């Protein structure tokens, strides 16, 4: 079989493309493919004529095929699956000159099992017998090309059994199909279980199918796509009831992905994180009222409005609307204070929420005091919930003042939170600051011209017949 395997390797590509038709109940044992190799020796070949024949190797192959198809008309020797197949079991033939001047043709083909039958009767024989019979009858001088080689002297014969990919040879001439969940590994030559993350529902296959992206199997040898499960990341497990990935929680860990369960931390130890991935993450629990710091190195007190009881691992938030008096609470009953909403603060004496006074604000809930606005800023009302509610007390700057455009605004202290500012008309204008008018308006009488000095003080230049500060005196002749 070793001698033959080299030559038969030439057939491998053909074997690979033929697939066994799978019935619903595939038998797990099928006959192996019988491959026959025979060699015909021509001791008296006229070798110098061979060079005149173009494509000699093709000619050898086609001649052998013609010979074998002729034989097959009388004795069913070619192992064709399809009766109309004219390749005689994918017959392959090559020839070579030997050193002693003789010529040797090697040929392989997929053959019928012995005994082979004569098509016209009940006679049976073997392939070896039929080929020898043909040799004597001149079948290997069937074509003109072969005739050049002269009479063949003898024939050597070999056979081997092969399985299609997906099956392994056993009992010499039978193939065991790889069972569902396994595949035929070309390298090991055996049926191996599908690797994790793959499955094969059908027997006799040379490969397994990968699960869809982000899916995997629990182990090796899966035979159904149903065995593909969501591949949860390490620190998580696939919850059988929700079909989703859940973290291992604070009492377990899981180092590998694609798991359906987590590994419990050793007794009296708890996991550092909800999705721990290593035994190293299992540590001593912190005392009540404390939880592990993020790096797991120390225990830290629960923040205000959180508490942690004896068997818990992390601090829990107080029930809605309640909070603790301080940090490190150890019982849910420590959540005895009202959780004051933004804009209010907890008065620890009365245990009541009080509204933030004017000029202060509180953005978060659960505060025990309100934050004052910056200097010269205040709020327009009590209960402010945002620092942006603080506005400047300088109405001249904020533009809240109502001064005339010809007036100067000056800020005044906002006593009792009343916006206060003053307005004063600019030089050369008079009024209460809310209204300002030009001092020259109606100042000079009798057609006098009003002129303001640098300080805005008006002066009149009177016409000839009038005099006085405002030209209201008639000149005496
Ligand atoms: C023919 O068979 C002989 C004997 O096994 C071998 O040495 C030779 O290489 C073969 N030739 C071809 C072309 O296969
Ligand atoms: C080959 O030639 C030799 C010498 O002429 C002869 O004895 C022998 O029978 C021939 N062989 C065949 C197979 O014809
Ligand atoms: C066929 O001929 C070759 C070469 O003459 C010889 O070595 C071999 O033994 C012969 N085989 C048989 C089966 O007669
Ligand atoms: C998941 O549920 C199925 C059916 O409900 C059950 O057969 C299987 O054992 C469960 N697997 C695990 C890991 O709990
Ligand atoms: C607040 O306003 C007063 C009076 O206008 C002024 O003297 C003081 O510098 C202001 N303070 C700040 C921090 O702006
Ligand atoms: C406060 O107001 C600013 C500006 O309006 C806004 O961007 C911010 O989110 C507010 N903060 C809170 C805590 O509501």
Pocket of ligand 4 (CB under 6 A): 240, 260
Distance 227 CA to ligand 4 centre (A): 11
Q: Is the CB–ligand 6 distance for residue 386 below 6 Å?
A: yes
Q: Is the pLDDT of residue 145 over 50?
A: yes
* Closest Cα to atom 7 of ligand 4: 240
pLDDT at 34: 94
Pocket-testing residue among 343, 370, 384, 386, ligand 6, by greatest number of atoms within 8 A of Cβ: 386
Contacts (Cβ under 8 Å, ≥6 apart) of 183: 166, 191, 192, 194, 200, 205, 206, 207, 208
Tokens of 212: 């869809």
Residue 26: predicted pLDDT: 56
How far is residue 76's CA from residue 181's CA, in Å, rounded to a whole number? 38
Residue 154 CA to ligand 3 center (angstroms) comes to 6
Query: Exposed (0-12), middle (13-18) or buried (19+): which is 360, by Cβ within 10 Å?
Result: buried
Which residues are CB-contacts of 255 (< 8 A; sequence separation ≥ 6)?
Answer: 234, 263, 277, 278, 279
CB neighbour class for 155 (10 Å; exposed up to 12, middle 13-18, buried from 19)? middle
pLDDT recorded at residue 419? 84
CA atoms within 13 A on the CB side of 274: 5
- 186 versus 384: the higher-pLDDT residue is 384
**Are the beta carbons of 135 and 152 closer than 8 angstroms?**
yes
Alpha helices in 230-335 (DSSP H): none
The phi, psi pair for 128, rounded to 5°, reads -60, -45
Rounded Cα–Cα distance for residues 92 and 12 (Å) = 12
Nearest CA to ligand 4 atom 1: 240
How many angstroms is it from 77 CA to the middle of ligand 2? 29
Identify the residue whose C-alpha is closest to ligand 1 atom 6.
106
Of the candidates 245, 316, 324, 312, the residue with the CA atom closest to the CA atom of residue 285: 312
Reading the block at residue 188, the tokens are: 């090991």
- Tell me the two tokens of residue 241: 């009831």
DSSP 8-class letter at 389: G
Give the number of the atom of ligand 4 that is nearest the alpha carbon of residue 240: 1
Instruction: Name the residue at shortest CA distance from atom 14 of ligand 1.
Output: 106
> Can you list the domains of the chain with their CATH numbers?
3-170 (no CATH), 340-392 (no CATH), 439-474 (2.10.25.10)
Own/partner contacts of 413-416, CB < 8 Å, gap of 24 or more, are: 414/378
Parallel/antiparallel/unpaired status of strands 103-110 and 92-97: antiparallel
- Work out the average pLDDT over 246-256: 95
Q: What is the pLDDT of residue 156?
A: 94
Q: Which of 17-31, 193-207, 422-436, 446-460 has the lowest mean pLDDT?
A: 17-31
Q: How far is the CA of 80 from the centre of ligand 5 (A)?
A: 107
Q: Specify the pLDDT at position 296.
A: 81
Looking from the CA of residue 364, the nearest atom of ligand 6 is 13
Q: Scanning the structure block, which residue is given the tokens 């593909």? A: 228
Residue 464 predicted with pLDDT over 80:
yes
What's the pLDDT at 20?
41
What digits encode the pLDDT tens for the residues 63-98?
A: 999 999 999 999 999 998 888 888 999 999 999 988
- In a 13 Å sphere around the CA of 428, the CA atoms on its Cβ side amount to 8
Buried b / exposed e along 103-126 (16+ C-beta atoms within 10 A): bbbbbbbbbbebebeeeeeeeebb
Which tokens hold the place of 297? 């190195």
Q: Would you mind telling me the total number of residues written for the chain in this entry? A: 477
Average pLDDT rounded to a whole number, residues 282-290: 93
Taking 60 as the threshold, does the pLDDT of residue 353 lie above it? yes
CA gap 393, 117 in Å, rounded? 117
- Convert the pLDDT of each residue in 364-379 to its tens digit: 998 889 999 998 899 9
Pocket of ligand 5 (CB under 6 A): 375-376, 411
Q: Report the first-to-last Cα separation within the chain, whole angstroms.
A: 158
Phi, psi for 240 (deg, rounded to 5):
-60, -30
């Amino acid at each position: 079989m070793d001698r033959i395997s080299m030559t038969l390797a030439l057939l491998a590509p053909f074997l690979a493309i033929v697939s066994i038709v799978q019935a619903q109940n595939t038998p797990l044992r099928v006959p192996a493919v019988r491959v026959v190799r025979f060699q015909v020796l021509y001791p008296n070949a006229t070798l110098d004529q061979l060079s005149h024949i173009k494509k000699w190797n093709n000619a050898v192959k086609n001649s052998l095929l013609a010979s074998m198809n002729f034989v097959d008309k009388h004795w069913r020797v070619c192992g064709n699956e399809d009766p109309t197949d004219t390749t005689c079991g994918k017959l392959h033939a090559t020839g070579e000159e030997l050193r002693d001047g003789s010529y040797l043709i090697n040929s392989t083909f997929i053959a019928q099992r012995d005994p082979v039958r004569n098509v016209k009767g009940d006679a049976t024989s073997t392939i070896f017998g039929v080929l020898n019979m043909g040799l004597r009858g001149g079948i290997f001088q069937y074509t003109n090309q072969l005739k050049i080689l002269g009479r063949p002297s003898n024939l050597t014969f070999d056979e081997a059994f092969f399985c299609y990919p997906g099956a392994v040879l056993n009992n010499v001439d039978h193939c065991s199909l790889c069972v569902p969940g396994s595949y035929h590994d070309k390298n090991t030559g055996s049926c191996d279980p599908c690797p994790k993350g793959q499955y094969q529902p059908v027997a006799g296959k040379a490969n397994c199918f990968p699960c869809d992206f982000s899916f995997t199997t629990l182990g090796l040898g899966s035979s159904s796509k149903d065995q593909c499960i969501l591949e949860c990341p390490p620190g998580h497990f696939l919850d059988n009831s929700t079909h989703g990935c859940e973290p291992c929680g604070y009492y377990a860990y899981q180092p590998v992905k694609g798991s359906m369960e987590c590994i419990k931390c050793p007794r009296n130890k708890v996991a550092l994180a909800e999705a721990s991935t290593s035994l190293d993450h299992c540590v001593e629990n912190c005392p009540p009222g404390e939880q592990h710091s993020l790096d797991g190195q120390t225990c830290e007190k629960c923040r205000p409005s959180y508490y942690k009881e004896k068997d818990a691992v992390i601090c829990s938030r107080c029930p809605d609307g309640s909070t603790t008096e301080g940090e490190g609470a150890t019982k849910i009953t420590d959540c005895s204070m009202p959780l004051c909403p933004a804009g209010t603060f907890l008065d620890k004496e009365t245990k009541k929420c009080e509204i933030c006074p004017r000029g202060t604000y509180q953005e978060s809930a659960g505060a025990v005091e309100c934050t004052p606005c910056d200097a010269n800023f205040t709020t327009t009302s009590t209960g402010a919930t945002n620092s942006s509610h603080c506005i400047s007390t300088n109405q001249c700057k904020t533009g809240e003042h109502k001064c005339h455009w010809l007036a100067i605004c000056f800020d005044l202290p906002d006593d009792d939170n009343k916006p206060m500012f003053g307005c004063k008309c600019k030089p050369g204008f008079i009024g209460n600051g809310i209204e300002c008018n030009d001092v020259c308006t109606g100042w000079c009488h009798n057609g006098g011209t009003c002129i303001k000095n640098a300080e805005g003080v008006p002066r009149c230049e009177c016409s000839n017949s009038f005099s006085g500060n405002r030209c209201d005196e008639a000149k005496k002749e």
